[in-house]
A and B are shown apart, each in its own frame.
Chain A
Amino acid sequence: MPKYMLIMRGTDESNAAMMASIEEGIARTRQFIDDLFKAGVYVAAEGLDDPRLGVVVDFSGEAPVVTDGPYGETKELFGGYFLLDVASQSEAVEWAKRVPAARGSKIEVRRVAGDDEVPEV
């Protein structure tokens, strides 16, 4: 059962667009998750809180250094994920195209490494 993670990568522009119509965004995301459920592919989904509330633990030096907020120069920030059981990477990509993502954001599609590295049916 290959698992794929659809990783939401937002930008300032896409986050602003999302916040501008947050009610609609929530409704469309609920509908999308409902579609995932009915297709039998849903495993998990989470959205992350405001990146400014987070901290970064940086291992560049001898000892880990903790800094506030999102990491410096990065333009795209991890904002949440969908974890799916799908038949193939192509199917994961097809679902990714259906995510109600705000304009300007990106979705990274990554296979979850696991014990089930077997050829497809």
Chain B
Amino acid sequence: MGTAADVAAVWRIESARIVAALTRFTGDFGLAEDAAQEAVTEALEAWPRDYPADPAGWLMTTARRRAIDVIRRRVALRDRYALLAAAAPLDEEIDPETIDDDVLALMFISCHPVLAPEARIALTLRVVAGLSSEEIARAFLVPVPTVQARITRGKKTIAAAGIPFELPPPDERRERLSSVLSVLYVIFTEGSTATSGDRLVRPDVAYEAIRLARTLAALLPAEPEVHGLLALCELTAARFPARTAPDGSPILLEDQDRTRWDFAAIRRGLAALTVASTRGLGPYGLQAAIAAAHASALSVEDTDWDRIVVLYEALGRVAPSPIVELNRAVAVAMATGPADALRIVDELIATDRLPGSYLVPTVRGELLTRLGRRPEARAELELAARLCPNRPERSVLLRKAAALD
């Protein structure tokens, strides 16, 4: 007991509660995060020699002391009276009645719209999920100093903007929640379709998002879209075991061995979708419903493509986006044939709504293949391969293009 792994494990469980409670005590998110990190550093030093009986309590007490030290130094340096007033709540203990709201407030502040998107992700993973800068750097394939700089800048931005540590007021609630959901979804998609690099799926990154979504669902049980996001993540992650061949190359949905899907995850996803459906589905709920239509089908042929087309149409109304249009085209191709789908894709190209995306020529290439227009299909798939940033996917595209010779 007392190794770095033990410290990391306790920190994973406690980070959100400790940083949340300290932010409430001090009213200063940046100070709370610094103090908590100092406590972790001290634990790495102290625990191998003397493992505490209550490691979670040890971290909290040490972090509080460090926070008090910083406030005392500031008091010595600056306006004594004003800061003493701010320091008064430090006498309070963790309040079990408010800690859930404090953890929620922590998620909201880490995902605040005033922050750059990269800072939101880094702060959420560090303070709420309890990952180290090294782990975040590895997850997002960026250098460690980049992650550290994002976190430092993020904390400064929050201080400079004077963001209060509280649950968002009713008039900001919708926007603020949607920012939290989008941060979690970006983390999830980074794991489920690695945007660059040699690996197609990084399940551990996706897992962090699922874990955070579950926490959010437990803390905000009455928000349908939180359950919608959780359902979407669970149902998508259920396919991970079947998505990659032993050599690392991607296996498309139509070719996946569906017996390898994680059926426990599908059940959890369907359960979350049921909760999300109580008051009409939002964008995440609709995407989850689409994933559920795939998850409950025995094969591509058995899939209810008409339902999926209707769901994409609904999604296009509540959250219009060219990617949704492209996906609708794929569903239309399955429901009524490639000719109808090609019209949707060509409309996207005519309006130049997805410039530079490899997805447009990928889909167009598939549709042209199905229509028997092989030379055009081949040119499209080769274009898609040139634009595709992910190596395993690129190889699949080149293989398909070569097969059209």
Given A85-B207, A116-B203, A121-B208 in contact, is the A40-B8 Cβ separation under 8 Å?
no
Complex interface: stretch among B131-139, B172-180, B310-318: B131-139
Contact status B211-A85, CB under 8 Å: yes
Nearest chain-A residue to B265 (Cβ)? A1
A40 touches B218 (CB 8 A): yes
Tell whether, in the assembled complex, residue A121 and residue B204 are in contact, meaning their CB atoms are under 8 Å apart. yes
State whether B215 touches A38 (Cβ < 8 A).
yes
The reply on A88 being an interface residue by CB < 8 A is: yes
Q: A36-85: which residues lie under 8 A (CB-CB) from chain B? A: 37-44, 85
For window 116-170 of B, CB contacts with A under 8 Å fall at: 131, 135, 138-139
Cβ contact within 8 Å between A37 and B218: yes
Q: Are A91 and B9 in contact (CB under 8 A)?
A: yes
- Per the CB 8 Å criterion, the residue count for chain B at the interface is 36
Whether a CB of chain A sits under 8 angstroms from the CB of B6 is: yes
Contacts of A95 in B (CB 8 A): 13
Chain B residues with CB below 8 A from A34, complex form: 218
Bound complex: CA of A118 vs CA of B214, how far in Å?
Answer: 22
With an 8 A cutoff between CB atoms, is A94 at the interface? yes
Q: Which of A1, A42, A85, A121 has the most CB of B within 10 A?
A: A121
Contact residues of A between 80 and 120, Cβ < 8 Å to B = 85-88, 90-91, 93-95, 114-116, 118, 120
Partner of A40, one of B5, B138, B210: B210
- How many angstroms between the C-alpha atoms of A94 and B3 in the bound complex? 13
B5 closest partner in A (C-beta): A90
A1 near B260: Cβ-Cβ < 8 Å: no
Task: Kindly list chain A residues whose C-beta atoms are within 8 Å of the C-beta of B213.
Answer: 40
Q: Known: A91-B13, A93-B9, A95-B13. Contact between A121 and B215, CB under 8 A?
A: no
Residues of B within 8 A of A37 (CB): 214, 218
The reply to whether A94 and B215 form a contact with Cβ atoms under 8 Å apart is no
Produce 1/0 per residue, A1-37, CB < 8 A to B. Answer: 1000000000000000000000000000000001001
Give the residue name and chain of the B residue nearest to A34 (CB). Answer: B218
B237 touches A1 (CB 8 A): yes
Question: 8 extra interchain contacts, Cβ-Cβ under 8 A, other than A1-B207, A37-B218, A87-B9?
Answer: A39-B211, A44-B264, A87-B12, A90-B8, A94-B9, A114-B241, A116-B203, A121-B202
**8 closest A-B pairs (Cβ-Cβ)?**
A40-B214, A40-B211, A90-B9, A115-B241, A121-B204, A91-B9, A90-B5, A40-B215
Interface of A toward B, CB cutoff 8 Å: 1, 34, 37-44, 85-88, 90-91, 93-95, 114-116, 118, 120-121
Residues of chain B at the chain A interface (Cβ within 8 Å): 3, 5-6, 8-10, 12-13, 55, 100, 103, 131, 135, 138-139, 202-205, 207-208, 210-215, 218-219, 237, 240-241, 260, 262, 264, 268
